[in-house]
Amino acid sequence: MSISNTTRAGGQSRSLILTAMIFAVAMTFIDQTIVSIAAPTIQHALGLSSSGMQWAINAYLLTLAALFAFGGRLGDIAGHRKMVVLGVIIFAAASALCGATPAGAAAETWLVAFRALQGAGGAIMFPAAIAIVVETFDLHSRGRALALFFGIAGALTAIGPIAGGYLIEWTWRSIFWINIPVALIALALIAISKPANESRPAPMDYRGLALIVGGVGLSVFGFQQSALWGWGDPAIWATIAIGVALLIVFYAVEARTDSPLINVRIFRNQAFLVENIILGIAMMAFIPVFFFAALYGQIALAEKATTSSLLILYFFLGFVVCAQIGGRMLDRAGAKRPVVLGCALAAVGFGLWASKATDLHVGAQVIYIVMAGAGMGLMLGQANTDAINRASRYSYGEATGITQTVRNYGASLGFAILGTLLITRFRSAITASLTSQGLSAPAASAQAAKIAQLQGGNGNVTAIPQFIRANFAAATRDVLYGMCVIMAVAAFVALRGLRRGVQEDTTAAGAGLSDELPDEDSGTDRDPAWR
C-alpha cells in the first residue's frame, strides 16, 4: 500500500494504524520504569549483586540509546512495517526470556543479556513506528496524531511503577510477561491495518554504525556509572571523553560517506538542530522526574511504592491533557508557541513544586506537579514532531533515530547531574543531622554516605526516621529547582532559536534531506517549510 493511498484512507483506517503503533511502542515505555520498582525483589529472589541489578536496569537503556540511529536507518532501508513487526517480536521474545531467568550462577548474565536484547528490539521498532504515523497522516493533521501517540504512549511510563508494584505481589517475573499480550495485540492490529511499508534500499554504513554505537555507548555508560563510581573516578571522565571523541569522528566520517548511517547535513537545517537541542535539554528533566518523584514519595513521604507512584500520575494528568492541546497548536500556528509556552510552564511548575517539597504534604504540591506535567506535555511531542517533519518522507525513520538518540542522551546526562546533586545534598544534610545528635564527624560522614546511596534499608517505609525524611525532602527540593533551571534554559533556546509559522508540505516525493537544508553561504534559511 502506498503512502498516498494510506493517507487518503478513511479516518477509521488511520486511527487503526495509530492504535497499532501505540500498542507496538507501549512495551518500550513501560519497561523504562517498571524494572526499577521491582529491583529489590528481583535482586533478593535471584541473589544478584548490587552492580548486577544495576546493569539489569542500565543494559536496556544503554542498548536502546546506542542502537536508535541504526534502527531508524534500517527502517528506511528495509521498510518500516517490517521493522516494527521484527522489533515487536524481538522485544516480546526477550521479555519472555527475562521472565524465565533461572536461579543460580547464570541468573545475572542471563538477565542482563536479555535486557540488552529488549533494548535492541525497542531501537529497531520505535523509529519505524514513528515513521509510519508520520507517513499515514498529512502535515496538517500530524500534530494531533503524534500528540495522541506521545500522550498515550508517554503516559504508559507512569503505569510502569504502578503496575510493577502490583504485579510483584504475584511474581516478579510477571513484570516481563506483561509485554507478551501487548505484543500479540500489536501484531494483530498491524496485520489488520496493513500500514505502509515503503523503503529506500541502500547499503548499510557499518563503519558509521560502529562509531556511533561506541560513542553513544561509552559516553552514556560513563553518565550512568557516575552515580556508582563517583565523578572523582578518572575512569568516568576517560569513558565519557572517549565516547565524545568517537562521536566527533563519527560526524566527520559521515559527512564524507556516500550512503551514511545518518545524513549529518540535516543538522545544517536550523529548525531541526534547534528542536534537537531543546529535546536534549528537556529530557534531562523529563525522564529523571519519574525516578526522583518515586523516591521522594517512598522516603520523604514514607509511602509504599504503589502509593508513592501516584505522584507520577498527577504529573501525567497534566501531560496527557496538554499534549493534545499542544498538538492542535502545532497544526494551527507552528511549533514555536507550544514549545516556548510549554518549557516556561514546566519551569514554573517545577519551581513551585520545589518550594513545597519540604512541607511533606502532597496536597499542597498536586497543582504544581500537574502544572509541571502540563508544560512538558505542551512542548515535548511538538518539538519532536516538528523535528521529524524536517526530513523527507523517505528519511522519517532516520530523523526519528536522531531525535530519539538525542532524547536518551539528554536523559542519561540528567540522571547523572541530578543524581549526583541529590546524593551530595542528602549526604551533607544527614551528616549535619547526625553530628548534631552527638555522633563524631567521621562516624557521621560514613553513616551518611551509606544512607545517601540508599543502602541498608529494610523496605519498611514507616521505620524511616523523621530527620531522614526531612533531609531527603530538602535534597529533592534542590533537584526540582535544578529541573526548573533546565526547563528555563530550554525555553530560552526555543524563544531565540525557533521561528513562527506553520510548515508547508512542499517536500516532493522522493526528495532527500538536501532539499530542505539551509543555505549556509548566504546565511539565510531556504527551508520552504517555514513561512
Q: Is residue 31 part of a domain?
A: yes
Task: Name the grid cell of 350.
Answer: 517545577
**HSE value, Cβ hemisphere, 13 Å, CA-based, for 120:** 12
Calculated CA dihedral for residues 212, 215, 220, 226, nearest 10 degrees: 170
Domain span including residue 479: 262-531
In a domain, 486, yes or no: yes
- Ramachandran quadrant class, 112 (left: phi over 0; alpha: psi -120 to 50; beta: rest): alpha
Number of domains composing the chain? 2
Do 134 and 61 fall into the same domain?
yes
Select from 204, 238, 254 the last residue of a domain: 204
Closest to 408 in 3D by CA, of 150, 166, 224: 224
Report the chain's C-alpha Rg in angstroms: 23
Q: Looking at the structure, tell me whether residues 200 and 279 fall in a common domain.
A: no
- 129 close to 189: Cβ distance less than 8 angstroms: no
DSSP codes, 257-294 = -SS-SS-GGGGGSHHHHHHHHHHHHHHHHHHHHHHHHH
Domain boundary among the residues 204, 227, 249 is at 204
Q: Which residues of 241-255 are buried (b: 16+ CB within 10 A; e: fewer)?
A: eebeebbeebbebbe
Q: Is the CB of residue 365 less than 8 Å from the CB of residue 473?
A: no
Same domain, 357 and 451: yes
pLDDT for the residue numbered 456: 39
**176 and 269: one domain?**
no
246 in a structural domain: no
Residue pair 246/215 in contact (Cβ under 8 Å)? The answer is: yes
Handedness of CA 103, 105, 108, 109 (dihedral sign): negative
The rounded distance, in Å, linking the Cα atoms of 4 and 530 is 23
Task: Examine the fold and report which residue of 185, 204, 223 is the final residue of a domain before the chain moves on.
Answer: 204
Q: What is the pLDDT of residue 306?
A: 64
| Residues 281 and 383 reside in one and the same domain | yes
For 350, phi then psi, to 5°, come to: -65, -40
User: Helix (H, G, I), strand (E, B), or coil: what is residue 440?
Assistant: coil
Per-residue pLDDT of the chain (531 residues; tens, 9 = 90+): 333 334 444 555 888 999 899 889 888 877 766 776 677 678 778 887 766 777 887 788 788 888 888 888 888 888 999 999 999 999 999 999 999 999 888 898 999 999 999 999 999 998 899 889 888 887 777 777 877 887 776 666 666 666 776 777 788 898 899 899 989 999 999 999 988 777 778 888 899 999 988 998 898 888 878 767 778 899 999 999 999 999 999 999 998 888 888 888 888 888 899 999 999 999 999 888 887 887 788 788 887 766 766 777 788 889 888 988 998 898 888 889 999 999 999 999 999 999 999 998 888 899 999 999 999 999 988 898 888 877 766 576 677 778 888 888 888 888 888 888 888 888 888 888 888 887 777 777 777 766 665 543 444 455 678 888 899 999 999 999 999 999 999 999 999 999 886 655 544 433 444 444 443 333 334 343 333
Q: What is the pLDDT of residue 75?
A: 87
pLDDT at 392: 67
Would you call 519 helix, strand, or coil by DSSP?
A: strand
pTM for the complete prediction?
0.79
Note whether residue 230 is domain-resident: no
Residue 220 has what pLDDT?
82
In a domain, 524, yes or no: yes
Residue 235 lies in a domain: no
Task: Please tell me whether residues 200 and 287 are part of one structural domain.
Answer: no
User: What one-letter code names the amino acid at 447?
Assistant: Q
What is the spatial distance between Cα 302 and Cα 296, in angstroms, rounded to a whole number? 8
Q: Residue 232: inside a domain, yes or no?
A: no
- Residue 179 sits in a domain of what CATH number? 1.20.1250.20
Together in a domain, 319 and 189: no
463, three cell numbers: 521505620
Please check whether residues 171 and 298 belong to one and the same domain. no
Residue 178's closest CA among 110, 113, 118? 118
Note whether 157 and 299 are same-domain residues: no
Q: Are residues 195 and 266 in the same domain?
A: no
Report the distance separating Cα 473 and Cα 341, nearest Å: 28
Q: Please tell me whether residues 182 and 317 are part of one structural domain.
A: no
Whether 234 maps to a domain, the answer reads no
**Same structural domain, 281 and 409:** yes
- For the record, the C-alpha cell of 26 comes out as 507501549
The pLDDT value recorded for residue 458 is 42
Identify residue 437 by its one-letter amino acid code.
Q
CA–CA dist 218, 242 (Å, integer): 7
